[in-house]
């Protein structure tokens, strides 16, 4: 009979193999699903996964969607390595967008420097928001999962208040939107006529920087020790509180940067829809990418692709939107299920016949 038993050591082979098996299983199940819906499975999978990125437009759009995911996810990676469960990237993203947006709209123009001021305000605003969670955790031992989730709601409602109230575009017929950002506070696009902007490069830079911090610095080492064993970290003389502050501030700053990059990039104004759930999706991305920068880059591209594929499937094949969710769910399910094989293995064992 089938038996699942724990491996003595995690299988390195399966660490690479599990996402591959999961992808293959998703493709097969997807093909069956499409066939059941009366579509040619190959064509449907092609439409879902290849067509969205088959031209420069698609590739740049993918990069555009990866940018905020990557920025949020890299910060979260540091937090989760330290086992600081920051669920608040969404709120930090929104506050970053708000803080940076206010700076862009209301500070006197500094010419080309205005962009940098805008981005800086976005980062600082995001950091300030995560600092609240850090303060509550280190000072009052408040659980960061709860505080960061609650701060998300406060952030979103602050944004709603701002665009329904003081920041409302005076010539906007009372619609809940700010005026458009001045041109000198906007991130320039990388290629004319496409939306991909400098923020993408900043996100890649951030990815490498966080990687270096995590893998090559003393702080990174301390973060990992803290995550593995808090008591060991204390015995080694690391300041737990300081590390909590570090990871939350970096994470908040990056999420804030993601928020303002979205506003100063494709959106161009403050409105209630700036928060598109990137902060939450980034959590999935971190775990999907196994808390590894390259993995996270691939995972954010994959997640972005499923969204774009879903749109493409609607446009080209008339498939319903819910299929996108189904597909994402399936992919995650298979990935998590296949992860079982990293620490466990399935064996056959002969049942002994009991003679009666």
Partner 1 sequence: MTLSINKKMAAFSVVAALGLTACGKAPETAEAPAAAPEAAAETAAPLKIGFVYVGPTGDAGWTYAHDEARKALEAKYGDKIETTYVESVKEGADSERVIGQLARTGNDLIFTTSFGYMNPTLKVAGMNPEVKFEHASGYKRADNMGTFFTRAYQGRYLTGLVAGSMTETNVIGYVASFPIPEVIRGINAFTKGALEVNPDVKVKVVWASTWFDPAKEREAAETLMLQGADILTQHTDSAAVVQAAEAKGKFAIGYHSDMAVYGEKAHLTATIHNWEPLYTAKVEAVLNDTWTSEDLWPGIAEGTTDLAPFADVVPAAVRELVDAKKAALKAGEMRVFDGPLLNQAGEVIVAEGETMEDGALLGFNQYVQGVEGALPKN
The site for partner 1 (CB under 8 A) is made up of: 21, 24-25, 27-28, 31, 40-43, 46, 57, 61, 64-65, 160, 164-166, 168, 172-177, 180, 193, 195, 262, 265-269, 271-274, 276, 307-308, 311-312, 314-315, 318, 320-322, 345-348
Coil, strand or helix: which one is 176?
coil
Q: Identify which of residues 66 and 225 has a Cβ nearer to partner 1 in the complex.
A: 66
Pairing of strands 344-348, 2-6: antiparallel
- Cα–Cα dist 236/316, whole Å: 59
Are residues 332 and 76 in contact, defined by beta-carbon separation less than 8 angstroms?
no
Q: How far is the CB of 190 from partner 1 (least distance, A)?
A: 16
Closest distance between partner 1 and the C-beta of residue 172, in Å? 8
| Nearest approach, Cβ of residue 87 and partner 1 (Å) | 21
Q: State the nearest-atom distance from the C-beta of 284 to partner 1, in Å.
A: 17
Nearer to partner 1, 248 or 275 (CB): 275
Give me the least distance between CB of 181 and partner 1, in Å please. 11
CB of 119 to partner 1, least distance (A): 17
Measured CA to CA, the distance from residue 270 to residue 166 in angstroms comes to 12
Q: Quick one: tokens of 137?
A: 């955790």
Q: Of 126, 81, 88, 86, which is closest to residue 219 (Cα–Cα)?
A: 81
Report the residue number, 140 or 322, with the smaller CB distance to partner 1. 322
> Based on CB atoms, which residue is closest to partner 1, 77 or 156?
156
The distance of closest approach from Cβ of residue 232 to partner 1 in the complex, given in angstroms and rounded to an integer, is 33
Alpha-carbon gap, residue 226 to 205, rounded angstroms: 26
Both tokens of 342, joined, read 């990293």
Closer by beta carbon to partner 1, 61 or else 90: 61
DSSP SS3 for 354: coil
| Whole-number Å distance between alpha carbons of 338 and 331 | 10
Of residues 98 and 312, the one with the C-beta less far from partner 1: 312
Of 46 and 211, CB closest to partner 1: 46
Asked if 98 and 158 touch (Cβ cutoff 8 Å), the reply is: yes
Q: Are the beta carbons of 126 and 253 closer than 8 angstroms?
A: yes
Q: Find where tokens 């920025």 sit.
A: 71
């Amino acid at each position: 009979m089938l038996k699942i038993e724990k491996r003595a050591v995690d299988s390195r082979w399966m660490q690479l193999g599990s996402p591959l098996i999961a992808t293959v299983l998703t493709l097969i199940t997807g093909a069956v699903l499409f066939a059941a819906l009366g579509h040619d499975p190959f064509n449907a999978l092609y439409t879902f996964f290849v067509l969205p990125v088959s031209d420069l437009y698609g590739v740049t759009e993918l990069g555009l969607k990866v940018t905020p995911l990557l920025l949020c996810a890299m910060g979260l990676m540091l937090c989760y390595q330290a086992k600081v469960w920051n669920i608040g990237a969404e709120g930090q993203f929104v506050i970053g967008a708000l803080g940076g947006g206010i700076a862009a709209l209301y500070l006197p123009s500094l010419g080309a420097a205005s962009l940098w001021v805008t981005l800086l305000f976005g980062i600082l605003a995001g950091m300030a928001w995560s600092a609240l969670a850090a303060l509550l955790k280190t000072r009052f031992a408040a659980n960061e999962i709860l505080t960061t989730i609650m701060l998300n709601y406060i952030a979103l409602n602050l944004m709603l208040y701002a665009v329904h109230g003081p920041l409302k575009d005076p010539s906007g017929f009372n619609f809940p939107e700010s005026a458009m950002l001045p041109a000198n506070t906007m991130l320039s696009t990388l290629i004319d006529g496409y939306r991909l902007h400098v923020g993408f490069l900043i996100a890649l830079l951030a990815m490498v920087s966080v990687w270096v911090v995590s893998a090559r610095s003393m702080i990174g080492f301390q973060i990992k020790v803290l995550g593995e064993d808090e008591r060991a970290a204390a015995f080694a003389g690391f300041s737990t509180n300081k590390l909590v502050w570090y990871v939350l501030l970096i994470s908040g700053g990056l999420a804030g940067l993601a928020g303002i990059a979205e506003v100063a990039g494709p959106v161009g104004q403050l409105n209630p829809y700036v928060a598109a759930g990137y902060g939450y999706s980034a959590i999935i991305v971190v775990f999907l990418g196994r808390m590894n920068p390259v993995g996270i880059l691939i995972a954010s591209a994959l997640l972005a692709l499923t969204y774009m594929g879903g749109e493409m499937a609607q446009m080209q094949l008339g498939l319903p939107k819910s299929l996108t969710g189904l597909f994402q769910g399936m992919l995650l399910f298979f990935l998590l299920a296949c992860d079982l094989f990293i620490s466990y293995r399935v064996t056959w064992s002969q049942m002994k016949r009991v003679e009666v």
